[in-house]
Chain A
């Protein structure tokens, strides 16, 4: 069996007295799309925020290529090749697409002055390579549509040669056409060997795009199964009741 690209073992996080994530273990193989499902407040977002360095885990271990890593900041996560497309997109509305694409990772000379031209060219190439549609690279993101803003966030995640991509509700703000494009993009990235965590409430997307489904409830993992072994009813049963579906529990027990 090959080494997982990313493996989280018994990761926990509490805010005050509330256990947002408790002993969660999840793994991700290269070229695999793992969908995280659960109600709002099930701990999905908290879990991926630990992977993307928004806040460190209280306990537990995270391995990348089998090596233990310490992710304490978004910068640490980026260094490890973990890129996140946040639910909020995390764009600075007042800046243009290029500035957002390189935000926090600007190309500069040794005095810290921006190499605007090189960044503009880099942004252009990434956007063309990903076949994304962004009307103007130098217009503020504020003036863009939901889909265009999404495209900027995707371009940012993919520009820096991500190995692990976390997509939190990537299609929530998109129309049918754009949703289809995101689906095509995910399949393309799979072929390139990226591991992808997909958080979505859209059952259709989840079953169309994911290889494995992991369901969370109240901060714990309910179960994790290959997508082809599950029906939508099984998934719903896990999400709502917080227990393994009766027919599968019998099979794996």
Chain B
């Protein structure tokens, strides 16, 4: 663990200067540092597992495992940014999963449309849960810690009550593909197409920004930083697809390619990043988190912002529940137990400040990747499950400590 700590703290001094030189001053240097930490973890894990960790097969599985946590982390980041917390997300996943399972098995058995109706029910119910909890937090002014602790207990046991604690399986085949099972992958050619689409989107964004700045007469419309980061993203997209396509369906030479949960995660991360950085709502979320009183004085309806954040969290819990339930091909009332801790840990490791007002969606993704990579490496190394959790707990505390030192090193 010492290597991680040292690399993070030494890079803080060098990176800002490097970024400044490239025209990216004031950007998220912290995210950069985390990616480097992730890279180091991957290299170490690969050495310790004799090359198994970075095999296409393990990376494919890692991508599936990360998806569920990272989807929820993107919502949790906004919750934490507004100075709140949602402890009920794990229970939401369990409850919504059982609800979806019941739609498929009891309410609409043998119905070809049941799979998407159950998805809609899960998403809608997730938003309703968020609406209730959000209203209690924002308007009844009950601390979110208490409201969602109640939600954690209530929803988990409601999940048991709903189906007497039994597991519903199997589920609709179409539904299963949403979890990235046998049929839930894009295959080789489509995965390449996805990479091309991502690259095209990145290029389009760069061009649009350039045109807008030129039209307004902003000096120096194209910064080296923007071009370099766009290029890095394109390389990442193609590299990732290349690795995923290298994983062949067992017994055949057919490429697996990107799994559906990964596509969902990419879509969620893109949309949530746009919401957080480029949408009025995201701007208000950060303003409320930075200084709730000031946000109110400038005319922002702070209560409604908090309510919306919780509704969004519920929606994303529903989405994560769909992916998890589909992947397990079973709706179990115990699904998602302790997941709230993983989600909060991913957000915090990813640089979301528990004091509010700071955090990035991409950071949460990297945080989820760091958590899941450590766990995956420990599984491959044959470390027992309780020990895994103990290590992850240590990492979480360490991450917050680094966060504290990071913030103390900056002007307050």
A3 vs chain B, min Cβ distance (A): 27
The answer to whether B297 and A86 have CB atoms under 8 Å apart is yes
B273 to chain A, nearest CB (A): 12
Whether A95 lies near B286 (C-beta < 8 A) is yes
Question: A103-B300, A117-B212, A138-B26 known; A88 and B218 CB under 8 Å?
Answer: no
Question: Quick one: given A114-B283, A118-B216, A139-B26, are A94 and B289 in contact (CB under 8 Å)?
Answer: yes
Query: Is A74 a contact partner of B280 (Cβ separation < 8 A)?
Result: no
Q: Once the chains are docked, how many angstroms separate the CA of A75 from the CA of B294?
A: 13
The 3 closest A-B pairs by CB, nearest first: A94-B290, A92-B290, A74-B299
Contacts of A143 in B (CB 8 A): 410-411
Check: A121 CB closer than 8 A to any chain B CB: yes
- Given the known A-B contacts A90-B293, A91-B294, A94-B290, are A78 and B299 also in contact in the complex, defined by CB atoms under 8 Å? yes
A169 located at the interface, meaning its Cβ lies under 8 Å from any Cβ of chain B in the complex: no
Contact check, A92 vs B216: say whether CB atoms are below 8 A apart.
no
Q: Which residues of chain A have C-beta atoms less than 8 A from B290's C-beta? A: 92-95
New A-B pairs, 5, CB < 8 Å, besides A92-B294, A121-B218: A86-B297, A108-B280, A114-B283, A118-B216, A120-B218
A138 to B223, CA, bound (A): 15
Q: Write 30 A-B pairs (CB below 8 A) sorted by A numbering.
A: A52-B297, A74-B296, A74-B299, A75-B299, A89-B294, A90-B293, A90-B297, A92-B290, A92-B295, A94-B291, A94-B357, A95-B287, A96-B26, A103-B295, A103-B298, A103-B300, A104-B284, A104-B287, A104-B295, A105-B298, A105-B299, A108-B280, A112-B279, A112-B281, A113-B274, A113-B278, A114-B280, A117-B209, A121-B217, A156-B298
Q: How large is the interface on B (under 10, 10 to 19, 20 to 34, 35 or more residues)?
A: 20 to 34
A99 at the interface (CB under 8 A from B): yes
Residue of A nearest to B287 (CB): A92
Give A125-170 interface residues, CB cut-off 8 Å to B: 136, 138-139, 142-143, 156
Which residues does chain B contribute within 8 Å of A118, judged by CB atoms?
Answer: 216
A90 to B297, CA, bound (A): 6
Closest to B27 in A: A138
* Chain A residues close to B by CB (< 8 Å): 52-54, 73-75, 78, 84, 86, 88-96, 99, 103-106, 108, 112-114, 116-118, 120-121, 136, 138-139, 142-143, 156
Smallest Cβ distance from A114 to chain B, in angstroms? 5
CA–CA, A114 and B287, complex, Å: 15
Q: Is B10 part of the binding interface, using a Cβ–Cβ cutoff of 8 Å?
A: no
A104 adjacent to B300 (CB under 8 Å): yes
Question: Is there an interface contact between B412 and A142, defined as CB atoms closer than 8 Å?
Answer: yes
On chain A, the residues within 8 Å of B286 by CB distance are: 92, 94-95, 99
List the B side residues contacting A121 at CB < 8 Å: 216-218
**Chain B residues with Cβ under 8 A from A116's Cβ?**
278
Please tell me if the beta carbons of B299 and A117 are within 8 angstroms of each other in the complex: no
Q: Which one of A86, A94, A105, A114 has the greatest number of beta carbons of chain B within 10 Å?
A: A94
